[in-house]
Structures are given as C-alpha cells and as structure tokens.
Amino acid sequence: MMLFHYLKYFLFHVVGLLSLAVLVVGGPWTTAGLVAVLLTYLVGDAICGDDTTTPRFGHPGILTFQLWMALPLLALIVFASVWSFSAGDPLGFGDWVQRLTGFDALASRDASHWGHHVSGVLLTGLMIGMMGTIPGHELTHRTWDPISMLIGRWLLAFSFDTVFSIEHVYGHHRYVSTTEDPATAPRGRNVYFHVIASTLKGNVSAWQIECKRLKREGHGVFSPFNAVIRGHLMSVLLMVGAWFMGGAQAAAYFLACALWGKALLEIVNYMEHYGMVRDPATPVQPRHSWNTNKRISSWTMFNLTRHSHHHAQGEVPYQDLKPFPEAPMMVGGYLTTIVAAMIPPLWHKLMTPKVQAWDRDYATAAERELAQQANQHSGIAQLMQQS
C-alpha cells in the first residue's frame, strides 16, 4: 500500500509523456491529446472524489527525484512542440523517430492543419504551467537546497517567470490576502485584468526584493549577482534555442506557449486567493487560501491543491501537506476551477456566495471590516445582496 503512495505522483509524468507523444505524432492527435488531458482532470476530479490521506514517507529522496524529473520531461515536450512547428528537422529528430518506430513523423507534421498547431500551443502552454510551474514552485521553496533551486528556476524559465522564485517566496507568502500582495485578486476583479496586473506588479515586487537583498550583501544592482537579470537571461536563452530550431517562426511559437503557461500561473493565483482579506497583524492561517482535495488534481499536481496548509507553513514539502477539509474550498478541482475563472459571469455567480460565506464563517471581526470595505470598493456588495 505504501508503494502506491509513491507511485501515485508518477501520474504527473504519465500526463507529460502522453503530451509528448501526441506532439510528436502531430495532426489530429495533438488536438485529441489536448482534449484527453482536459477530460482527465475535469471528469476525473468530478467522479473520483477527494484524497484526504496523509501517509508518512520513509524515503523523501524519491519524492524529490520525481520533482527533478520534470525538467528533462518539460524540455522534451517543448522541444517536440517547437519541432512540430519548424520547417526543417532540427537535430534530425523526425528522422530519428522514423528509424526508431517506423512512423514518418516529418510527413505527419508537414500535413498538420493550422488548427492543430493552435492545439499544440494550448497543450504545450498547459504543460509549461503544469510540468514547469508546479514543480518549480515546490523546488524554489527549498532555499536550502542549491540543486533544487537551480532545477526549479530552469523550470520557471520556460514561462519567463524565474522572478516567481523571488516574489512568491519572499513577497506573496508574506503579504498573501492583503492589498500589498500582487497575486491576491480583490473582490470583483476580472481574471483577464488580474493576469496583466499581477504579472506587472509581481515583476516590480521581485525587482524591489532583489535590490534590497543585493544592497544588504554589498553587491551592485546591475551585476552578475542579480537573480532577476540572470533569470530573464535564462528565458532568453530558451528563446534563442527555439530561434535556432526554426527561425523567427519557431521563436514566436515558443513565446506563445510560454506566455500561455505564464497566464495559467496567474489564473491559478487568481483562484487560490480570490476575495480573501487578512488583517496584516494576523499570521497567515489555512483560512486565508482556497483549498481543494480533489484526487486527480492532488495526485498529478504534487498536492498543490492543499494550498491552505502550504500557506500556513510554506516550508513543508508537498508530500507532508495536510488536506484541511475544514478550510474554505474551491468550486472544484484545479482545472475545473480554472475553466470557471475564465468565464467571469460564471465565476462571480459561483464565488460570490462563497466569499459571503467566508466573511461569515472564517473572518475575524477586524477582517469583516476589511471585507466590508472591499465589497464597497469593488461594487460586489450588490451581487452579495442578490445572492
């Protein structure tokens, strides 16, 4: 039984390998693969219930290795995706696939309809968000482990978001659910505005945090010690790699995938703390994050779903996070909630009663005052009255 608890996290890699395969085969298989991944989460979370188990793992090194494996897997996925949009055969990849399997990958790629390339962008961006940001998030919390930090930052580089390793750890976790936090969406905000606002403010916040660190350590801002500059150069290097694979066309394709992956992160930020308020004098507690224990999301996302415990104790590794079933809950699993967030009328219909219940059941007296002010400023008070 204990072996199962190690194996269940390999579902993450199974999803990645499926995506890699359909990107190589190309054509309608890419679109079918995208649909299959989406249905796995939407239907799986709907019918498989919650996972509230909290096993004790005796070999945490295996669980860390599972995170590290995300980097070569994501690199292969992105390479195959950019290859599928390139005119030539970079590194002889198509020829290698044909010699290995007998399948003419080049002919299949060249016959692909433009609509399937759109599916390729959507699928690759989804994988950058899942295979890159989720393990990158976990690994860059391990500030004591230089290997995990390095791998985590490279994973984040695929979405042009290495600053996440700075702003998230030293900014978001400190200011979460307050007006000082760029990633916390205030009540009534549209998710599409939040993607832009959180991205811009998050980069500014990361720059300010890094400048303070450099000053403390006696380093210049524009120096090799600046992690913000180094991180963006990592992303530029990936962009250059795409350019060498297929010129400006391939570079633009990679950029589209990367930006979609980054947008997914901000959509997740939006739904994880939407409408939450916190008295800055109050320590972060499980009630300051929206939580979910849906089984498929938990197993394939390294317990990112257990967000309430993560914010209460950010240093706890993913396998030791507790489900906190009494915490405020999302509308469903992660992908289900993402879909709801991307349809603003549906989102506000679902979330307005939940925010109202949070004010009643979770907020302190001081937070109820903050919530009332937030309702008036956002114009959501009328929606709450209607609900």
Please answer whether residues 367 and 278 qualify as being in contact, where contact means their C-beta atoms are separated by less than 8 angstroms.
Answer: yes
pLDDT at 102 over 60: yes
Q: Among residues of the chain, what percentage have pLDDT more than 90?
A: 95
Write out the two tokens for 340: 């709801």
Q: What is the pLDDT of residues 262-315, one digit of tens each?
A: 999 999 999 999 999 999 999 999 999 999 999 999 999 999 999 999 999 999
Helix 191-216 vs helix 344-361: crossing angle, to nearest 10: 60
Long-range (24+ apart) CB contacts under 8 A made by 372-380 are: 374/186, 374/187, 374/275, 374/277, 375/187, 377/186, 378/186, 378/187, 378/188, 378/189, 379/188, 380/187, 380/188, 380/275, 380/348, 380/352, 380/355
**Nearest CA to 232 among 201, 207, 195, 209?**
207
Q: Mean pLDDT in the chain? A: 95
Take residue 10 and report the two structure tokens written for it: 């390999």
Query: What is the tens place of the pLDDT at every residue in 34-57?
Result: 999 999 999 999 999 999 999 999
Whether the Cβ atoms of residue 271 and residue 338 lie closer than 8 Å to each other: yes
pLDDT band at 2 (very low <50, low <70, confident <90, very high): confident
362/365 Cα distance (integer angstroms): 10
Question: Which amino acid is it at 221?
Answer: V
Q: What is the pLDDT of residues 315-366, one digit of tens each?
A: 999 999 999 999 999 999 999 999 999 999 999 999 999 999 999 999 999 9
Whether 382 has a pLDDT exceeding 90, the answer reads no
The amino acid at 31:
T
Taking the C-alpha atoms of residue 253 and residue 243, their distance in angstroms, rounded to an integer, is 10
Written as six digits, the tokens of 376 are 């008036």
pLDDT in tens, 186-232: 999 999 999 999 999 999 999 999 999 999 999 999 999 999 999 99
Query: Hey, what's the torsion of the CAs at 119, 125, 128, 134, to 10 degrees?
Result: -110
| 230 and 222 Cβ atoms separated by less than 8 Å | no
Provide φ and ψ at 321, rounded to 5°: -70, 140
Cα torsion through 256, 236, 138, 7, rounded to 10: 70
